[in-house]
Structure 1
Amino acid sequence: MAFQVEINVEKEFATSASLGEVYALLADVPRSASHFPKVERFVDLGGNAYRWEMEKIGIGGHTLHETIYACLYTADPNGHTISWTPVAGVGNGLVEGGWSMTRKGEETLVTLHTKGILTVDLPSFLQLLLSPLVVMEFNLMIAEYLQNLSTTLNRG
């Protein structure tokens, strides 16, 4: 029987890029997504909804988990926020979250908050062993994503 893994992330980084530059990058979902590691396919579903198909997580030749999910994105240029909500019935994950950004002195502070519930199609007795690996992998990908975005924004 499958089990679920919940992932909650809240991270922040600062950049010398302007509020407008940061917003423009993050509101352009395909451009922003191109900075995310281990994306096998990123599919435009229309209406500002996108399906993420991630590379498989595995050990040796064994696949432990493959994550597929879709989100609908909403951008608010006045509030400098971008949010996403899950598209039900697509894949094995439900992911929601958002970006917020504010100018503080010479820097723009960028905050990411996201929550995901991933269904792992493996026997539930493996949950204690595999859940921490799935969470760790997701957190490593988020850290790399933020670093990639920061590098792009600081080239500015």
Structure 2
Amino acid sequence: MAITVSIELNRNLDIPASYDEVFDLLADVPKSASHFPKVDKLVDLGDNAYRWEMEKVGVDKHAIQSVYACTYHADKDAGTISWTPVKGEGNGVVSGSWVITRKDDNLTTLKFQTSAELTVPLPSLLKLAISPVIKHEFNSLVDTYMNNLKQAF
């Protein structure tokens, strides 16, 4: 038995750095991922696709791990970086984008949007109880990531 939890997140963020610095960091997936908390492993699948293997949460046989893969597309002229799911990789399906806008020479605005579906091997009876916990954890990870990015500049 398994349950699927759907998550939608949107964040806006001002970064005290130039457009080029911000874009270059975010377009470099391993460098950007180094600021994301609780990543156990980032596996390069080639062709700008990466598998994210997050740290396990829980204890022994009740531990769950999020694993998903995305292909990344960066367009510096348009100010966008997007990611689309790689089918058949892991227990999650994640897509999203960054929209990057130059405010002035030393201030860049980011719009972050992502949607995820995570399937975990738990009885459907637990969906009502576990779904808010998973959503809270995902929100917390993204908030920490945003703070880490801000501090990187």
Gaps of 5+ in 1: none
Aligned AA (2:49): A
Which whole-Å CA distance do the structure 2 matches of 1:143 and 1:63 have between them? 26
Matches within 5 A, 1:45-84: 45-58=45-58, 63-84=62-83
Q: CA deviation at 1:71?
A: 0.2
Which whole-Å CA distance do the structure 2 matches of 1:56 and 1:112 have between them? 25
What residue number does 1:117 align with? Answer: 117
C-alpha offsets along residues 101-150 of structure 1, whole Å, 9 cap, x if unaligned? 11224521111100000001111100000000011001100000010011
Gaps of 5+ in 2: none
Which whole-Å CA distance do the structure 2 matches of 1:111 and 1:25 have between them? 15
Aligned AA (2:54): M
What residue number does 2:95 align with? Answer: 96
Paired residue secondary structure (1:17): coil
What residue number does 1:41 align with? Answer: 41
Which whole-Å CA distance do the structure 1 matches of 2:77 and 2:103 have between them? 17
Identical columns (%): 51
- Checking the alignment, whether the CA contact within 8 Å between 1:35 and 1:148 is kept in structure 2 is yes
Paired residue secondary structure (1:87): strand
TM-score (norm 2): 0.95
Which whole-Å CA distance do the structure 1 matches of 2:57 and 2:6 have between them? 16
Aligned AA (2:7): I
Q: 1:102 to 1:68 in 2, by over 3 A?
A: same
Superposed CA RMSD? 1.3
